[in-house]
Amino acid sequence: MRGVPNETRRQGGIDWRLWLPGTLLLGCCLILNLLSWSETFEHGRLHEQRPLLLVVTVLAVSGIVYFFAARRSFSHPPPLTPVLLLALLCRLLLLFSRPVQEDDIYRYIWDGRVTAAGLDPYLHSPAAVLDASSDGEASLVAQAKLSKASPSLSAILSRVNNSEYVTIYPPLLQYLFALHGTLVPVDWEPDSQVLAMKALLLFFDIGNIALVAVLLGLCGLPRGLLLLYAWCPLVLKEYSNSGHMDSAPVFFLLLALVAVAGGGRGRSPGALRLLSGGLALGVAAGLKLFPLVLLPLFWCRLGLRSGALFCAACFLALLFFAAPGGEVAGGRGDALKIFALHWENHAAFFLVLRSGLEFLGITGEYELTLGGALYGFEVSGIVARSVCALLIGGIVILLAMRSRSDEEPRVFLSSCFHALAALLLLGPLGFPWYFTWCIPLLPFPRYRSWLLLPCFLMVYYLGFWYEYHIEDENLAERFADRDLLISFGLFYLCLGFEWWREKREKRAGRDGEEEQESLCDA
């Protein structure tokens, strides 16, 4: 058995250095499940009594356990069966837990109900539906009537966050939400409807595990490295517990990578694989726009003609699933503009950049009328967003220019990982679940410090404790920003040290070769 010491084989194949961290991870999932069902985590209640410090501690322990298990898996690839067994058990435990500090899933359920009823989710915000009268606009009255179809659905609508805005989720995703709205009875309890939505999204997470295994096979890597995705506490928390929808677009992105990665070493994928890969990438981008940042890398790997066919298929899928026009697109478009120009959260580089611009005197507000209302946006934030966009674009172009059609699949997948990581590390939004896009590709970059990133991201949930226990909102935000800068600073320090050590070893190797050559000449 590869990577398993002889003494382990003599003990009947039980590798305690695998089962011990797996059991600890399973225990962390069990504790999180039990904590989630305490009355303090009922939506909208007892915020100050929530055991958030204990939750963050459990997440931190799971991150430490994961880091050492993942790091060891490179030198001692574990058997696939226990990796998959423990991964499935962890997912089942968190599937039957209540979402901790996350409520995006209520928007998914409401959007799905509206779409399944043949109504338009982009016309009216949840707040407008809650305040609707019986003599208002026909479409608004219809949604208000739908919201009263059961007490459970009324409760779900009241829990939708940022309810003053219409949904920003694209039409293709609405069809997925509508599947839940069609299959799940409207009178189920809210917790049961949440469980059903999480179960639907969990199918994509399981599919991601299978596709990562395929990518490892294409790269000639041990499938035991599947542990890096299957055991990642960030993936477990954000998919199985919180029920974020990112598992769905990540699934289609991995389909596109499988279609293209296998064509390396001078071999271009066939036309069918090119079309299917392009369509898969288009579907992924139709669910969330992140994958579009990878288009230059796909094109450079495939070459001019094959890349053009792939990109054409991608944009064909995007056009087919494009947002509707007119007034409907205007409502969603306004919400997207507010989201793009105003929202910023848990983004260390962006925070430092914006603070630096304000220190240099780049301040003030830019006013924009959206949906008949006047919104003010900080000039420093808009300038920082522009700088970040240029940096991300430059990194992606550099990665694409270094790509070759004959490079190993692992090199291509590593470039894709770094492009996605640049998008998320340099952008204004660093929500932990956004980084789940990078986790399937963790086996491919050469620096092991990337394994620390999912662990440091858990500090995000400590910010809620400050919010609930510190009355001064600005002071609470400063404490959260301090923790953010410390955690990301430690990550960058580890990454920089690993880079420096590699450079020093290469330089020492070259110096040794030169000294040996000089001795031979003498």
What predicted TM-score, i.e. pTM, was given to this entire model?
0.91
Tokens of 114: 């509206």
Rounded distance, CA 70 to CA 183, Å?
38
CB of 377 within 8 A of CB of 342?
yes
**Averaged pLDDT for residues 132-146:** 84
Rounded distance, CA 437 to CA 288, Å?
11
Q: How many CB atoms lie within 10 A of CB 462?
A: 21
The pLDDT mean for the chain works out to 87
CA distances for 403 relative to 297, 373, 420, 425, angstroms: 7, 46, 16, 22
Q: Point out which residues pair with 365 in neighbouring strands.
A: 378
Tokens of 125: 């915000």
Tokens of 64: 């430490």
Q: Give the type of residue at 332.
A: R
**Averaged pLDDT for residues 71-87:** 93
Rounded distance, CA 501 to CA 447, Å?
11
- What integer pLDDT is reported at residue 192 of this predicted model? 95
- What integer pLDDT is reported at residue 44 of this predicted model? 81
pLDDT tens profile 433-464: 999 999 999 999 999 999 999 889 989 999 99
The size of the chain, in residues, is 522
CB of 397 within 8 A of CB of 414?
no
pLDDT tens profile 264-279: 455 567 788 889 999 9
What's the first-to-final CA gap in the chain, in angstroms?
Answer: 48
Q: Point out which residues pair with 429 in neighbouring strands.
A: 345
Whole-angstrom Cα Rg for the chain: 24
Rounded distance, CA 74 to CA 447, Å?
12
Rounded distance, CA 479 to CA 463, Å?
8
Query: For the ranges 90-104, 184-198, 301-315, 353-367, which has the lowest average pLDDT?
Result: 353-367
Tokens of 4: 């398993």
Tally the C-alpha atoms within 13 A of residue 326's C-alpha that lie toward its C-beta: 5
pLDDT tens profile 316-367: 988 887 655 444 455 666 677 777 777 788 888 999 999 898 888 888 777 7
- What integer pLDDT is reported at residue 9 of this predicted model? 42
Backbone φ and ψ for 98, nearest 5 degrees, come out as -85, 140
- What integer pLDDT is reported at residue 372 of this predicted model? 60
Q: Give the type of residue at 433.
A: W
Nearest-5° angle of CA 140, CA 144, CA 147?
A: 140
pLDDT tens profile 4-41: 444 344 344 567 888 999 999 999 999 999 999 998 88
Positive or negative, the Cα torsion across 200, 216, 452, 495?
negative
Tokens of 145: 């009537």
Select from 261, 520, 297, 312 the least CA-distant residue to 419.
297
- What integer pLDDT is reported at residue 362 of this predicted model? 84
Rounded distance, CA 243 to CA 195, Å?
9
- Cβ burial of 505 (10 Å; 0-12, 13-18, 19+) is exposed
CB of 416 within 8 A of CB of 313?
no
Residue scoring higher pLDDT (382 or 249): 249
**Averaged pLDDT for residues 488-494:** 94
Following DSSP, what letter does each residue of 34-51 receive, concatenated? Answer: HHHTSGGGSTTS-GGG--
CB of 400 within 8 A of CB of 300?
yes
CA 394 remoteness from chain centre: 22
Tokens of 471: 């009355």
Q: Which residue has the tokens 């404490």?
A: 479
